[in-house]
Amino acid sequence: MDVTALFGSNVFNDSVMRSSLPKEVYKSLKKTIETGATLDTSIAGPVAQAMKDWAVSKGATHYTHWFQPLTNLTAEKHDSFIEPAEGSKVIMQLSGKSLIIGESDASSFPSGGSRATFAARGYTAWDPTSPAFVKEGTLYIPTIFVSYKGETLDKKSPLLRSMTALDKSAKRILKLFGIECNKVSTTVGPEQEYFLIDEEVYNKRKDLYLTGRTLFGALPTRGQELEDHYFGTLKTRVAEYMRDLDETLWSYGILSKTKHNEVAPAQHEMAPIYATTNIAVDTNQLTMELMKKVARKHGLVCLLHEKPFEGVNGSGKHNNWSMSTDTGLNLLDPGEEPEHNSLFMLVLAAIVEAVDEYQGILRASVASAANDHRLGADEAPPAIISVYLGDQLGALVDAIVNGFDYVPVKAVPGSIGVPESPIFPMDATDRNRTSPFAFTGNKFEFRMLGSAFSVADPNIVINTIVADTFAKFADELEKAEDFERARDELIARKFKEHYRIIFNYDGYGPEWEPEAARRGLLNNKNTADAVAVAFEEKNIDVFIRQGVYTRAEAIARANIQLENYVKIINIEAKTTAEMARQDIFPAVSDYVATLCSNVAAKSVIDLPCESEKTVAKSLALCNEEMMKAVSALERDLSQMPSDVKEASQKMAHVILPEMNAVRAAADKMEAICAKDYWPYPSYTDLLYSVK
Ligand code: ADP
Ligand code: MG
């Protein structure tokens, strides 16, 4: 396998562009891609033609404007290249106009009330900064999606706006330090967790294929307690899947780098090398899609749901985030002596302020029905946002805040005491896996994302709030007479003001919740409460100030998130009721009947049948209890308030507990019901299905 030849072979990338475009066209396009200069539309024709020729040579017959509506998925509609030609023939064509702009019916995508349904026109517009690619016979053109009136209807346009905002403010900060550059870009490396289970077993679980998670299931006798799955050797079938996945990802120019088993049985991870944020977002969307598709080729199903199984870890996504200039300076690189790196300390202070001030929207950006099952469940960071700086920076910030002299914490050379082993450089700081927003050497790692999330949402928030804080800092420092004094004073003041958000200890520990409450930090445990915060004026204004959302767009997005939460729990609740009524109740009833007739038969010749009686009685009682819970659930589901905020509260506080009551009764029965009678594969069947 020649990986270097395979890599990017399905992508209309820089080298293809360079060789297939007229020189002037290439130069102009490159300028747009690299500096964000407005696209010269006169080049659209030649670019479209080169793209089409290349795509056709790769077997493509169609093209699509690929976009990211306000779901977590991507959308596509395929048009063929054919145009009628003389002699009843066709030619293959892609015009400049078709490349640049497409029209799409916007009315069937979520809009959160920002667009009336009769105003259905939507437009997709080419995003030249993200490369086009060929997949399954179609040329995919990355686009943004806006309504007839120019409201954004996707995740890509606000993401690009947030990157522009950050570029603008960061350059103001750099200028104060005498650093000139053309562009500051944000970079993201999303680590992606997933589960793999056997397709045949999956197909027997209605809850999994309808909702993505198990709504029932007694805990297996073996969970993750042996701690032997994390980094364990790969099962052959899994290894074959991972190899196929890597090759597929590489062919799409995705920098798949690391793969390993995760903590829970059947759980795994893939981490790519980081890229500029909009590319990272696009490639992560594509990665999630390909993970699922490649799995099917192997008779497997890839689950991206945040909590497919109770009792074992769920799946998240770590969003490694940083900022760097086109000249190669990483703004989050502390260097050897951060105490003498005032640019770094100022950037750090800005991030600490941004995260503290806007902890509410940061938390809201990762809120979903599925992720609610993870955050705060001892496997993922709590629902409380805090910042981890590590020993070295933690000590430095402590010294600044308290006015002490800083005694540098230096990385020491380590040795394991075996003469043959090399001396290895130790990191200056240990890892802290329990922190939601952790500094990890030259980047921040935001760890609250769910595995199925589009990474666009949290990055829109991070970029916007950091851009806004940079702008505030720049406003103050640009006016200062003595820059250095003003700078140092600002750094110290900001760390003091926002000291409460810094937490360098165990985020899973029981002490943290009350401590965070004392510090006045938010702790919104469910989506209904977390998203409510996004409607607050301050949290809308920051998006308006940075030109990322209009007021209507910000409100629409929060509404969509709540609507989505309500819809998902509604589907789960209906599925819970249906499975209980149609499958579990009759199965248990049959088994009880069998036990009873066995008792009757055995009694004829006086055989002992206490166990049959005990089990039959327990099951009969539990089955009644479950059906009562089902009735209560159905009653409350039929009386949902029409207001989305009220409905979301009812879902969180009434419907979910009622679903749990149905489940609790069913799971108790599963544990004592004969396997042949139970209508679904068990957790053991699911989690150990890949042999
Ligand atoms: P770990 O988190 O397991 O220690 P690494 O630190 O090697 O692993 O990297 C985790 C992820 O962070 C990878 O996707 C990597 O490419 C990404 N990453 C590294 N540097 C940066 C950066 N400057 N900006 C964004 N992501 C980065
Ligand atoms: Mg990591």
User: Do 404 and 260 lie in a common domain?
Assistant: no
Read off the pLDDT band of 158 (50, 70, 90).
very high
Residue range 55-77: mean pLDDT, rounded: 94
Query: Which residue CA neighbors atom 23 of ligand 1 most closely?
Result: 322
Q: How many CB atoms lie within 10 A of CB 632?
A: 15
Q: CA distances (Å), 108 to each of 121, 454, 622, 644, in order?
A: 11, 20, 43, 19
Which of 75-84, 507-516, 560-569, 615-624 has the lowest average pLDDT? Answer: 507-516
220 plus 299 within the same structural domain: yes
**Quick one: average pLDDT of 171-178?**
98
Examine residue 550 and state whether it is found in any structural domain, yes or no. no
Asked if pLDDT for residue 386 goes beyond 50, the answer is yes
333 with 283, same domain: the answer is no
**CA distances (Å), 653 to each of 131, 389, 399, 450, in order?**
45, 35, 44, 22
On whether both 585 and 487 belong to a single domain, the answer is no
* Ligand 1 pocket, mutate which of 259, 262, 320 (most atoms under 8 A from CB): 320
455 and 352 in a common domain: yes
Q: How far is the CA of 359 from the centre of ligand 2 (A)?
A: 21
Q: Could you give the CA distance from residue 345 to residue 599 in angstroms, rounded to a whole number?
A: 77
Q: Indicate if 651 and 528 belong to the same structural domain.
A: no
CA distance 370 to 582: 25
Assigned domain for 553 exists: no
Query: Which pLDDT score, from 0 to 100, does residue 103 have?
Result: 86
The alpha carbon of 489 and the centre of ligand 2 are apart by a number of angstroms equal to: 33
DSSP 631-655: HHHHHHHTT--SSHHHHHHHIIIII
State the Cα–Cα distance between residues 530 and 520, nearest whole angstrom. 15
Looking at residue 546, what is its pLDDT?
Answer: 98
Residue 623 lies in a domain: yes
Determine the structural domain holding residue 574 and report its residue range.
565-688
Closest CA to 67 of 59, 75, 79: 75
Query: Which ligand has its closest atom nearest to the C-alpha of 446?
Result: 2
Which residue reads 């080169």 in tokens? 50
What is the arithmetic mean of pLDDT over 332-357?
Answer: 97
- Measured in whole angstroms, how far is the alpha carbon of residue 142 from the centre of its chain? 19
Closest CA to 502 of 487, 521, 523, 524: 521
Asked if pLDDT for residue 428 goes beyond 70, the answer is no
pLDDT of residue 24 exceeding 50, the answer is yes
422 confidence band (pLDDT: 50, 70, 90): low
Question: In this model, does residue 117 exceed pLDDT 50?
Answer: no
- Same domain? For 26 and 100 the reply is yes
Closest-lying ligand to the alpha carbon of 260? Answer: 1
Q: What share of the chain is helix, strand, coil (3-state, %, to 5)?
A: 50, 15, 35
- Percentage of residues in the chain with pLDDT exceeding 70? 96
Q: Which residue's alpha carbon is at the smallest distance from atom 7 of ligand 1?
A: 273
Task: Single out the residue of 144, 168, 162, 164 nearest to residue 154, CA to CA.
Answer: 144
Work out whether the CA dihedral 561, 285, 265, 439 comes out positive or negative.
negative
Give the highest mean pLDDT range of 23-37, 499-513, 653-667.
653-667
Which-ligand-closest: CA of 323?
Answer: 1
CB-based contact 344:338 (threshold 8 Å):
yes
Domain contains 560: no
Give the residue-averaged pLDDT of 301-307: 98
Say yes or no to pLDDT of 571 above 70.
yes
- pLDDT band, residue 423 (cuts 50/70/90): low
CA of 191 to the centre of ligand 2 (A): 7
Distance 444 CA to ligand 2 centre (A): 10
457 and 433 assigned to the same domain: yes
Which percentage of the chain shows pLDDT scores above 90?
84
**35 has pLDDT over 90:** no
Residue 116: which CATH number?
Answer: 3.10.20.70
What are the φ and ψ backbone dihedral angles of 72, each rounded to 5 degrees?
-95, 10
Pocket test for ligand 1, best of 274, 333, 432 (most atoms within 8 A of CB): 274
pLDDT digits (tens, 9 = 90+) for 184-206: 999 999 999 999 999 999 999 99
DSSP symbol at 201: H
Token duo for residue 441: 């050497």
User: What DSSP state is assigned to residue 390?
Assistant: H
Please give the number of the atom of ligand 1 that sits closest to the Cα of 324: 23
The per-residue pLDDT of the chain, averaged, comes to: 93
Structure tokens at 397: 């910030």
Atom of ligand 1 nearest to the CA of 189: 14
Residue listed under structure tokens 């290439």? 26
Task: Answer with the residue of higher pLDDT: 432 or 580.
Answer: 580
- The confidence band for 329, taking pLDDT boundaries of 50, 70 and 90, is very high
In ligand 1, the atom with minimum distance to the C-alpha of 441 is 6
* Ligand 2 centre distance from Cα of residue 475 (Å): 34
Locate 506 and state its tokens. 């165990």
**Is residue 547 assigned to a domain?**
no
Give distance in angstroms: CA of 318 to centre of ligand 2. Answer: 6
What single DSSP character describes residue 107?
G
Cα-Cα-Cα-Cα dihedral of 673, 677, 678, 679, to 10°? -160
Distance CA 539, CA 242 (A): 41
* Backbone torsions φ then ψ of 654, nearest 5 degrees: -115, -55
Tokens of 115: 């667009």
> Which of 263, 294, 315 delimits the end of a domain?
315
* Helices of type H across 119-182: 156-176
Question: 137: left (phi > 0), else alpha (psi -120 to 50), else beta?
Answer: left
Q: Which two tokens stand for residue 386?
A: 């805090």
Q: How many CB atoms lie within 10 A of CB 321?
A: 26
In order of 2, 31, 331, the CA distances from 325 in angstroms are: 33, 16, 8
Q: How many domains does the chain have?
A: 4
- Reported as a single tens digit per residue, the pLDDT across 619-672 is 999 999 999 999 999 999 999 999 999 999 999 999 999 999 999 999 999 999
For strands 62-66 and 138-147, give the pairing: parallel
From ligand 1's centre to the CA of 443, what distance in Å? 7
Q: Verify that 615 and 494 share a domain, yes or no.
A: no
Q: Which helix (H) or strand (E) holds 56?
A: helix 44-57
Ligand 1 atom nearest 272 alpha carbon: 14
Residue 62 is inside which H or E element, if any? strand 62-66
Band of residue 417 on the pLDDT scale cut at 50, 70, 90: low
The answer on 179 and 41 residing in a single domain is: no
Look at ligand 1, atom 11, and give the residue with the nearest C-alpha: 189
- Which residue's alpha carbon is nearest to atom 19 within ligand 1? 274
CA of 192 from ligand 2 middle (Å) equals: 10
Between CA 335 and CA 477 the distance in angstroms is: 23
**Residue 556 placed within a domain:** no
| Same domain as 626, residue 477 | no
pLDDT exceeds 90 at position 1: no
DSSP-derived 3-state class of residue 116 = coil
CB 119 within 8 A of CB 132: no
Residues 524 and 514 in one domain: yes
Report residues whose beta carbon is within 6 angstroms of any ligand 1 atom: 187-189, 191, 271-274, 320-322, 330, 440, 442-443
Task: Find the range with the poorest average confidence among 56-65, 257-266, 598-607.
Answer: 257-266
Angle at 528 between CA 525 and CA 547, to 5 degrees: 105
pLDDT band per the 50, 70, 90 thresholds, residue 420:
low
The answer as to whether 557 is a domain residue is no
Atom nearest to 188 CA in ligand 1: 25
Can you tell me the distance from the alpha carbon of 147 to that of 123, in angstroms, rounded to the nearest whole number? 6
Length reported for the chain: 691
What lies within 8 Å, CB to CB, of 31 at 6+ separation is 37
Å from CA of 435 to ligand 2 middle: 11
Residue nearest to atom 22 of ligand 1 (CA): 322
CATH number at residue 587: 1.20.120.1560
Q: Which of 8, 277, 24, 301 is nearest to 158 (CA)?
A: 277
Residue 643 Cα to ligand 2 middle (Å): 39
| Residue of 192, 443, 447 with the most ligand 1 atoms within 8 Å of its CB, for mutation | 443
pLDDT in tens, 240-296: 999 999 999 999 999 999 999 988 999 999 999 999 999 999 999 999 999 999 999
Is 507 within a domain? yes
**Inter-residue contact 685 to 214 (CB < 8 Å):** no
Q: Please report which ligand is nearest the Cα atom of 444.
A: 1
Give the residue-averaged pLDDT of 414-439.
68
Domain boundary residue among 300, 315, 330?
315
- Under 8 Å between Cβ of 625 and 599: no
Of 278, 294, 315, the one marking the end of a domain is 315
User: Do 488 and 342 meet the contact criterion of CB atoms below 8 Å apart?
Assistant: yes
